[in-house]
Amino acid sequence: MTQTIPDDFDFIIGDWQVQHRRLDARLCGCGSWTEFTGTTSTRKTLGGFGNVEDNVLNLPEGSYRALAMRSYDAASRLWSIWWLDGRRPHHLDVPVVGAFADGVGTFFADDRLDGQAIRVRFTWYVERDGCPQWEQAFSADAGGTWETNWIMRFQRLS
């Protein structure tokens, strides 16, 4: 039986300039944000059932690289997304798992932040101008309330 190759993440395949906006501190009422640029390049893998995103993040204190890996489970129709920060090359973050509905991808994981149990949410969507946007939010109350702490807006490179 041939499985249909998922196209949910086709919008992000290619090379991008990224505008990052990251909250300076998380889950403590912080209101100050740091903005910085980056680039990313995303390619399909696993015969179309996954993709890899190679990132350069230009923080004010210095640049670093990171990798997002995504894989699709055709049986459950769920995506898993892992994040590998080049500054911690022996630590792969807990995967967020989810799916797309009506053009919006929502993915969740249970994790820890500074010893505290948190819920993590990634949201992917494409703006009306065709530019993808990703947001990360954390919840300290099992998803009752959310604090968005990182936003990435993508502009395709020619």
**What CATH number is given to the structural domain containing 91?**
2.40.128.20
- pLDDT tens string 57-104: 999 999 999 999 999 999 999 999 999 999 999 999 999 999 999 999
pTM score > 0.85 for this model? Answer: yes
Token pair, residue 78, equals: 């769920």
Q: How many domains does the chain have?
A: 1
Q: What is the pLDDT of residue 158?
A: 80
Residue 6 in any domain: the answer is no
Cα gap 107→119, rounded to integer Å:
10
Q: Please check the confidence at residue 2 and state whether its pLDDT lies above 90.
A: no
37 is in which domain, residue-wise? 12-156
